[in-house]
Amino acid sequence: MKAPRRSAVLAVLLMVLGLLAGALIPGGSASAAPAPSVSALAAPSGPLKGGARVRVTGSGFVGVRRVYFGAALGTAVNVLSPSTLEVTTPARGAGVVPVKVVTAAGASLPSSSSRYTYVAPPAITGVSPASGGLAGGTAVLVTGMRFVGVTGVRFGARAATSWTLTSPTTLVAIAPPGASAGGIDVRVITHSGWSAPTPADVYTYAAPSPTLTSIAPDAGPLVGGGTVTISGAGFVGATSVTFGESPSAFEVVDDTTISATVPPAAAPGDFSVVVTSPSGASGAVTYTYLGAAPELGAVSPNIGPTAGGNRITISGSGFRDVQGVVFDDLEASEVTVESPTRLSALAPPHAAGPVTVRVRTAYGESGPSTYTYADVPPARALATGSHHSCLLDEDGGVRCWGWNAHGQLGDGSTTSRSAPVPVLGLESGVQAIAAGGATTCALRADATVLCWGWNAFGQLGVGDSLDRTSPEPVLGLGAARAISVGSGHSCAILLSGAVACWGWNYSGQLGTGDRADAAAPTAVVGLVEAVSAIAAGDEHTCAVTQAGSVWCWGAGQMGQLGDGARGESSLPRPVPAMSGEVTALTAGVMFTCAVRSGQSWCWGRNAAGQLGDGTRDERAVPVAVAGLSAASGITAGGSTCALAGVAYCWGANTFGRLGDGTDTSRTLPVAVIGLPPGVAALSAGAEHACALTQGGALFCWGANSQGQLGDGTLAPRLSAVRVGG
């Protein structure tokens, strides 16, 4: 058999050639392989520029000749096994292409497993929330584009704890713990590359919520204003510091220290201090507002009787949790706290003399204020000048109070007083007192007259025109039995019933027939009868004769002379309508009043209704005061008052000088409020009036700017107050 030797050689030759082919084509096999197939791409997407290394998984990767990405040829094919090869992608435009492996056995067929997507790197358009705590764990929604083939998400240098792709434009990543507070870029990584950093991808690790450890000092006064140091952590970026609900001005010194100004508080107590930052609010530390010790402003009135029981008002501050009011060591009763700045109490009984008043609260004791216990002796007569008042007590002593610029109080000074002071040298022996303008006179039991105060016109009768601050005898008067003082002149009724006047005589008010001022008494000319009463007004004088008739002289332009004429008279003229039965007489500012058979009559100026006839018409002849009957006394100053059972006043009512509780002028009499029963006498000044009771108590009302009400204060009173508190 020699022919089969050629087929055997041929078979060996083919086998060698097959072996050679297998050697030249790696992976190749000389044996007949199945056609390749692709089952998976490890990275099914990549950049448009190519160059990505892709591992292809499948089968039949024997004798691989080419790997195609669409129509483009991959490069650097490395067959790792018949089921795995790696290839570098070629550049292509965006889109999806099949990956085809070509071997000698054929080409793989396209399938869903062999699709390769060319796509640009991802881009982030937003992260939400854009901040979170340093501890991480925040679920962050990342939005953007081309989230295809996502392989990772980074938060700065750190990989997200986890991430979930929800769509090609969104994924949710769990933020890892941050290295430090501050902003970092979130990056999405795909097979096509990393997202480029943009401001939209910034995620901020926020500092932790502040924590407080202490505050120093931890207490202070209600008014605040002090500086405290708050210690803790997480203070950088703090947005507020509050004490209770009150914000505080503050400065962040560093992350562990805040310097804050304590705001004021309305009431004492513990308040929570809280620091707030964007990370949240801290816990609280406690700051305590301390109540302030009270402070005394004024005690009013600051004088009162030794029997106590009178209500005094105390002004000041810090009247909280009041525990008491003490007069020296004695407790006041019925303490009533009206507000933190005002309280009242009843003064306790105490011996005469000054005491200190203090207010005690839970927060301390006030400083002292002086209160004086003094009993005003029972009085039996009173007198009022324009802005001062005087009393004659049962012992014949004289005390005065009010305006004292000219020494009219007779205490040796020119200091105005709001409570009675003794007149020097007149502790006893005085029979009667009179006051007018800024001048006071006293009639002693020995029928001598002394005067003190204003003397510009010689109205003291001491021979010159110098003021006196203590009583001096009127020169050359003779024995007198009644006195009266006007605004600038004085008069006296002598024992003989004749009248002498001295002082200003501009309008003939001295009744001497001329107009020369007189610094010593001069006889009134032309009174044909003895005089029983005399009244010196502002610039006129009137007298009641023993027959009960009225004569007037001096200024009369307002009809105050009462005889129907208007003009001055330097000699007495009778008032025809007041002829007989006149029992009381008074001369005010440009007007005159009298009581005749119990009926009150007035004439002269009436601009404020001081004539009491219900009109404001000037009267040159007497008109009846309406609504008053059985008057026993009448007094005229700036306004008019009369005693008819009770006290009534009418006319101008500034500062409440009518005592009716208002400041409304009245053309008809109104009753004075606040007087006890048994008023015995009245006296009217320019803007105030006083009353004397049968028991010797004194009350005043009206203007009090000079202390002329004698209640220890300078407050005007619309109704009667007790002299001496």
Partner 1 sequence: MLVAAALGLLALSSPAVARPDPGVAPGPFSRPGPGITSGTGREVAEPAYISLLFSRSNWQAVSGADCSIVAPGARTLEQNAQDLADRGLSATALVVINRTAAADRTCFRGYTSQASWADLAHLRDSYGWSANSQGTAYRDMTVMTSDAERFAESAASLAPLAAHGFPRAWGSFAFANNKQESLSQAFVGRYFGFVRRYDSLRNSRAEATAAPYLMRTWSLNGGRCHNRALACYDMPVLNDRRSANVDLVRTYLNPEPGQWSVLQAYRLVEGTHGVIGDTYAWDCSSADWRDRWTSQPEISCRNSYLEMVDGRNLEAVVTDPTTIALAWGRVPVDYLGWPRP
Q: Which amino acid is at 539?
A: E
Q: Are 688 and 664 in contact (CB under 8 A)?
A: no
> C-beta of 690: minimal distance to partner 1 in Å?
17
> C-beta of 400: minimal distance to partner 1 in Å?
15
> C-beta of 571: minimal distance to partner 1 in Å?
6
Q: Which amino acid is at 396?
A: G
> C-beta of 527: minimal distance to partner 1 in Å?
7
- Judged by CB, which is closer to partner 1: 154, or 489? 489
What is the binding site for partner 1 (CB under 8 A)? 386-387, 403, 405-406, 416, 437-438, 454, 456-457, 465, 487-488, 504, 506, 508, 513-516, 525-528, 538, 555-558, 563-574, 588-590, 605, 607-608, 618, 620, 637-638, 652, 686-687, 705-706
Rounded CA separation 235/588 (Å): 80
Q: How far apart are the first and last CA of the chain?
A: 167
> C-beta of 373: minimal distance to partner 1 in Å?
29
- Judged by CB, which is closer to partner 1: 252, or 686? 686
Q: Are 22 and 15 in contact (CB under 8 A)?
A: no
Rounded CA separation 573/590 (Å): 16
- Judged by CB, which is closer to partner 1: 28, or 612? 612
Burial environment of residue 684 by CB neighbours within 10 A (0 to 12, 13 to 18, 19 or more): buried
Q: Which amino acid is at 113?
A: S
- Dihedral sign for Cα 655, 660, 662, 664, please: negative
- Judged by CB, which is closer to partner 1: 55, or 515? 515
- Judged by CB, which is closer to partner 1: 201, or 517? 517
- Judged by CB, which is closer to partner 1: 66, or 566? 566
DSSP 3-state assignment of 210?
coil
Rounded CA separation 409/432 (Å): 15
> C-beta of 303: minimal distance to partner 1 in Å?
21
Q: Are 503 and 488 in contact (CB under 8 A)?
A: yes
> C-beta of 379: minimal distance to partner 1 in Å?
24
- Judged by CB, which is closer to partner 1: 357, or 558? 558
Q: What is the DSSP string of 281-319?
A: E---EEEEEEPPPPEEEEEES-EE-TT---EEEEEEE--
Rounded CA separation 633/602 (Å): 13
Half-sphere exposure of 265 (CA within 13 A, CB side): 25
The structure tokens 């001081």 sit at: 610
> C-beta of 681: minimal distance to partner 1 in Å?
22
Rounded CA separation 157/184 (Å): 9
- Judged by CB, which is closer to partner 1: 187, or 387? 387
Q: Are 67 and 76 in contact (CB under 8 A)?
A: no
> C-beta of 518: minimal distance to partner 1 in Å?
10
- Judged by CB, which is closer to partner 1: 172, or 498? 498
